[in-house]
Amino acid sequence: MPQQSILVVDDEAKMRRLLEIMLTQMGYEVLQAENGRVALDVLVRHEVDLIITDLRMPELDGIGLLKQLREQNNDLPVILVTAYGTVNSAVDAMKYGASDYIVRPFELDAVEAAVQRALKLAKVQRENRYLRQKVEQGWHGFIGKSPAMQAIYTQIEQVSATKTSVLIQGETGTGKELVARAIHQSSPRAEALFVSINCAAIPADILESELFGYSKGAFTGANKERVGKFELAEGGTLFLDEITEMDFNLQAKLLRVLQERSLERLGSNRTINLDVRVIAACNRNPRQAIVEQKLREDLFYRLNVFPIILPPLRERKEDILPLANFFLAQHAREFAYPFNGLEDEVTECLLAYPWPGNVRELENMMERAIVLSGGKKISITHLSSDILGAYQHKPAVTELSSTLSSAEVVPNNTGLTEQVEHLEKQLIEDALVKTNDNKAKAAQLLDISERSLWYKIKKYF
């Protein structure tokens, strides 16, 4: 275990030296600073596990140092050193997050007990934060506590300990590879390799050699022997992403390897036995792919022993905001920006948007937002036009439905065309009133182009 370090902050050199001797005898590494300002500079250059600071010092005292640390979201444990006359001040400082205080003159035992309490409390707090994050993230980095995701976690638990083939279905961006990795990492194969290959990204002739490998001289350009992905994943897991995009003839060769649990490299007659778990994934309905002859039916049944169907993000809306905040905080750390949260209107926008690209689209949007914000609170000006469009059209449905329900009734003896035109005119009038005759906003409210609105205004008015 690495040696823990303690920063001693006191304007009296003798007091710093005394604490240094005591703490060194206890086995700690000791750094020193003569006031709070210097202490903050030391913390920029060094990592410490605990701060012991005098309560009263020039420039920046103990409470001032404590406040600045907490404003910076620095939760280092802090012990305050105080004289008898200022014990009340030290007690008051506990509300700013001080871990403990010691009164001088002090004994070695009192200092040791306070240090151990503070370090133990800090360790418990770190563990609690870690456990809370794990609960929020679910399985292996997943974010989401919705019932749909809880069901996925249960399925991962159920299948991970087995050798069963898994077929993961879900739209693009729902996290199919993340599920495959979670199954591998939770399985007895976790110590071996997780090998991933995208069947849609590689031409059929190259994909075959990538999967099964080849011997030297197997074809023009085969200058040396190559180990395929199946052999590479020996003892571990092979993840075949976008399996429905694999060449139909190559699927027959894959099926044979899965059934016989052995293969021959291209250009070789030597049989290589395999111990590989195969997890496949697709973003289209596999049964429809069978109808369209994109997926062999026999291969489907061989892979679909344990199906996992990932829900799209629009069907688990309760996970959208936790995911958004997670991605924002992650990218804020990467760019060294502060993360100051979301404005209320932003949360409404995020919940109104259908997220066709699912979690991947949300992550990209949040990265863009944090870049545009520069560390400020995320507002709707930092969101893309796609999200804003979905949000702005949402109230329009309610407003226009209200207009329709309260529309003036057209006599039954008029034709359908006349009735439709009458209602259309009323809707346009209502939209122009609501937007103070702003044609662009009225067109947006009606969900038509501004050009179409001008045409209809000329037609009806």
Return d(Cα 39, Cα 31) in angstroms, integer: 9
CA angle 95, 101, 104 (to 5 degrees): 145
Over residues 293-302, mean pLDDT: 96
Q: What is residue 399's predicted lDDT score, i.e. its pLDDT?
A: 47
Considering the chain, what is the average pLDDT of its residues? 85
Return d(Cα 170, Cα 294) in angstroms, integer: 17
Tokens of 456: 């209809």
CB atoms within 10 A of CB 455: 12
Is 225 buried (19+), middle (13-18) or exposed (0-12) by CB count in 10 A?
middle
Sheet holding 306-309, edge to edge: 194-198, 237-241, 277-282, 166-169, 306-309
Contacts of 175 (CB under 8 A, 6+ apart): 142, 310, 358, 359
How sure is the predictor about 337, in pLDDT bands with cuts at 50, 70 and 90?
confident
Q: What share of the chain is helix, strand, coil (3-state, %, to 5)?
A: 55, 15, 35
Q: What is residue 398's predicted lDDT score, i.e. its pLDDT?
A: 44
- Nearest by Cα to 238 from 204, 273, 203, 197: 197
CB atoms within 10 A of CB 222: 15
pLDDT in tens, 60-106: 988 889 888 888 878 889 999 887 656 677 677 777 788 888 888 88
Is 98 buried (19+), middle (13-18) or exposed (0-12) by CB count in 10 A?
buried
- Alpha-carbon torsion, ordered 67, 69, 73, 78, to 10 deg: -100
- Nearest by Cα to 99 from 84, 85, 113, 83: 113
Q: What is residue 249's predicted lDDT score, i.e. its pLDDT?
A: 93
pLDDT in tens, 163-205: 999 999 999 999 999 999 999 999 999 999 999 999 999 998 8
- Helix count and strand count (H, E) for the chain: 19, 12
Please indicate, yes or no, whether the overall pTM of this predicted structure exceeds 0.85. no
pLDDT of 118 higher than 60: yes
pLDDT in tens, 395-432: 444 444 454 444 444 555 556 566 667 777 888 888 88
User: DSSP readout, 269-293?
Assistant: --EEE---EEEEEESS-HHHHHHTT
| Alpha helices per DSSP H over 138-199 | 147-160, 176-185
Q: What is residue 178's predicted lDDT score, i.e. its pLDDT?
A: 93
Contacts of 394 (CB under 8 A, 6+ apart): 352
pLDDT in tens, 208-267: 999 999 888 878 777 778 889 999 999 999 999 999 999 999 999 999 999 999 999 988
Q: What is residue 84's predicted lDDT score, i.e. its pLDDT?
A: 63
pLDDT of 367 higher than 80: yes
Write down the residue that tokens 């400020």 correspond to: 376
Residues paired with 271 in a beta bridge: 264
Helices 385-405, 344-352: axis angle to 10 degrees equals 80
Q: What is residue 401's predicted lDDT score, i.e. its pLDDT?
A: 45
Over residues 119-148, mean pLDDT: 68
Over residues 121-126, mean pLDDT: 78
Q: What is residue 406's predicted lDDT score, i.e. its pLDDT?
A: 47
How sure is the predictor about 445, in pLDDT bands with cuts at 50, 70 and 90?
confident
Domains of the chain from N-terminus onward: 5-134 (3.40.50.2300), 147-311 (3.40.50.300), 317-346+357-384 (1.10.8.60), 407-460 (1.10.10)
Of all residues in the chain, the percent with pLDDT exceeding 70 is: 88
Q: What is residue 35's predicted lDDT score, i.e. its pLDDT?
A: 93
* Pairing verdict, β 271-273 and 262-264: antiparallel
Return d(Cα 297, Cα 286) in angstroms, integer: 9
Contacts of 274 (CB under 8 A, 6+ apart): 230, 231, 234, 257, 261, 262, 263
Sheet holding 5-9, edge to edge: 29-33, 5-9, 50-54, 78-82, 100-103
- Name which of 14-23, 121-130, 315-324 the model is least confident about: 121-130
Q: What is residue 226's predicted lDDT score, i.e. its pLDDT?
A: 83
How sure is the predictor about 34, in pLDDT bands with cuts at 50, 70 and 90?
very high
